[in-house]
Chain A
Amino acid sequence: GDSVTQMEGPVTLSEEAFLTINCTYTATGYPSLFWYVQYPGEGLQLLLKATKADDKGSNKGFEATYRKETTSFHLEKGSVQVSDSAVYFCALSDSGGGADGLTFGKGTHLIIQP
């Protein structure tokens, strides 16, 4: 079945550092890929998504590129802020995300220190 593997946390960085959170997946067919973020005390929010190979999703300075050849969807940000501290989930869907449930990674807790 489908699965998502993302790097274990917590990841602790200083403000303005470069961020990479690795995510790889296994799936049949051509899944859509997502990054969700969960800020403290809040529910999951969609951060960005990509629906086909070589697509780049971007939002709030975060980017991730759908790499079919390496089955990866790594999350990056050039300069993190304290407000980026949250738990980040990589996820996939066999459809566009509406018809099927999502398969999630375990989540990566990101801590940004001032």
Chain B
Amino acid sequence: GAVVSQHPSWVICKSGTSVKIECRSLDFQATTMFWYRQFPKQSLMLMATSNEGSKATYEQGVEKDKFLINHASLTLSTLTVTSAHPEDSSFYICSAVTDEYSNQPQHFGDGTRLSIL
């Protein structure tokens, strides 16, 4: 089946640094990828939608300059948390879909746990 790989799975870094998270579709081409954020005991919240070769569409309340998303190829999207602070600590999950018009389900990565000290 369709596999989405997310890297790293866990990262700890100091406040003020930038952290990049990769999301790769391993055996299919993903026209669209989504980034979600999950706080403890909360639901996954959609942060942004990225389409290959175009700018990401951010949900209301998500800072574009804080969470930089790049979808440079059909198999890779990256989320960079810039100048991270403790409040950015969370679980970040990506998903990918082969064709936004084909009614296909999203395939999820295993998530990245980000801890900012």
Residues of A within 8 A of B (CB): 4, 32, 34, 36, 42-46, 49, 51, 89, 95-107
Q: Say whether A43 contacts B43, CB under 8 Å.
A: no
Residues of B within 8 A of A (CB): 4, 6, 32, 34, 36, 41-46, 49, 59, 93, 95, 97-111
- Name the residue of chain B whose CB is nearest to the CB of A103: B46
Q: Say whether B32 contacts A43, CB under 8 Å.
A: no
Most chain B CB within a 10 A radius of its CB, from A32, A49, A105, A106: A106
Q: Say whether B93 contacts A97, CB under 8 Å.
A: no
Chain B residues near A99 (CB-CB < 8 A):
32, 100-101
Chain B residues near A100 (CB-CB < 8 A):
49
Most chain B CB within a 10 A radius of its CB, from A4, A95, A98, A106: A98
Q: Say whether A98 contacts B43, CB under 8 Å.
A: no
Given contacts A43-B93, A89-B43, A103-B46, contact A98 B108 (CB under 8 A): no
Q: List 10 A-B contacts (CB under 8 A).
A: A34-B105, A43-B4, A89-B43, A96-B104, A97-B106, A98-B97, A98-B106, A102-B34, A104-B44, A106-B42
